[in-house]
Structure 1
Amino acid sequence: MPETTFPSTELTSQYTAQVASDLERNAKEQERIGAEIAALQEQLLALQHDHTVLVNIQKALGTADSPTEAAPSPEDAAVPSPRHETPAKPATGKRSRAKKAGTEQGSRTTKETAAKTATAKTAKPTLVELIRGHLTEQNEPRSAAEVATALGQTHPDRSIKTTVVRSTLEGLVAKSQVQRTKQGSSVFYTAADAPAQPETSTDGAQADS
């Protein structure tokens, strides 16, 4: 009996360790894919927002251009003016000026609407713009958690998650817009065009002196 129990116990331990390792790897893979999905969803929302704004601007411009060519009214086309009645011409001129004034007013309104829509669009930057702007202002590398915390404090109205920030940072690294450094088991990020470290410039000043 003891000889049979020992191999069985050892095999069970091996299976248990293998299952635990597979579970850990599965959980990490789920977290990675979930972060990518969240980042893609935010990018999709931003693209949909831009699309809506552009469609509204296109409609506004189309509406502003269409009234410029005003068709003659049915009354003007059906009833010709008498040969010797000159007062009819000033009346037509007044109607034309009124139509022109209404067209110009409508054009100004649509342009103002388009400008307000564009302003509303630029008022809310994307997460990519926020991350790049934050890293550009920093003088030393920042981790994904530090970036997420800082942006969450600066923009409390937005739901900024560390996993989404990390995925976005990796995307910027792939585009060479952000640099990634590793210190031990921690990963830090800096802007691709970040200025030189302060300590480097101080050493140079000491060397010059």
Structure 2
Amino acid sequence: MTSRSAASLRARYVEQAVSDLAENRRRQRELAEKIKMLEQEETLLMDILTLAERYEEANPSPLPEQAERRPVAARVKAGATEKSRQPLLGDALIELLGTHGEPRSAKALRDELMERNPDRSPTPQVVRNTLESLVAKGRIRRHKRERSVSYTLAGRVTG
């Protein structure tokens, strides 16, 4: 093997290693994002489970098909107790809106929520979806001005 072919082979190995490293890092970022989304989905599902449990407590007479499913909910409940201490995302957002007299953007609400609750990190989309759900329920109002959207409590009048 000549020194030229050895250098060429070494250069190809280095090029391949650099390419593989870049691909590995890209996949790590992709997986980290997936993990973050799954954690947020878990939080949302835990919130749904908490709501279901509150509903069951308020309405103790289950329908026959609900009674059959109860043992499954009881098993999941063991893991839910840790997360159920946090208020639901919608309740937390309503509380934040109540502390401000002016309309607030979804981004501003998310930033404030994460500042007050460092253990929570909902995606911007989860916050927007929750806010839109609260609008649909009539609990908050949406205000559109050109391309920006902001929210206030339903009872508040803005100027």
* TM-score normalised over the length of structure 2: 0.51
Distance 1:169 1:122, change over 3 A: same
State the partner residue of 2:151. 189
> Matched residues in 1 for 2:40 and 2:99: separation?
23
Q: Give 2:112's aligned amino acid.
A: A
TM-align CA RMSD: 3.4
After TM superposition, give the deviation of residue 173 of structure 1 in Å. Answer: 0.6
**1:46 maps to 2:8:** no
Alignment of 1:1-209 (within 5 A): 42-49=43-50, 123-194=85-156, 196-197=157-158
CA displacement, residues 137-160 of structure 1 (integer Å, 9 cap, x when unaligned)? 111001110100010100001122
- Identical-residue share of aligned pairs (%): 34
CA contact (8 A) 2:143 2:149 kept: yes
Distance 1:122 1:39, change over 3 A: closer
> Matched residues in 1 for 2:45 and 2:82: separation?
18
Distance 1:121 1:39, change over 3 A: closer
State the partner residue of 1:76. none
Distance 1:40 1:171, change over 3 A: farther
* TM-score normalised over the length of structure 1: 0.40
Can you give the 5+ residue segments of structure 2 that lack an aligned partner in the other structure?
A: 1-37, 57-80
After TM superposition, give the deviation of residue 44 of structure 1 in Å. Answer: 2.3
> Matched residues in 2 for 1:121 and 1:46: separation?
8
Distance 1:46 1:122, change over 3 A: closer
After TM superposition, give the deviation of residue 46 of structure 1 in Å. Answer: 1.6
Higher helix share: 1
Distance 1:44 1:140, change over 3 A: same
CA contact (8 A) 2:40 2:122 kept: no
State the partner residue of 1:32. none
CA contact (8 A) 2:40 2:123 kept: no
Distance 1:139 1:52, change over 3 A: closer
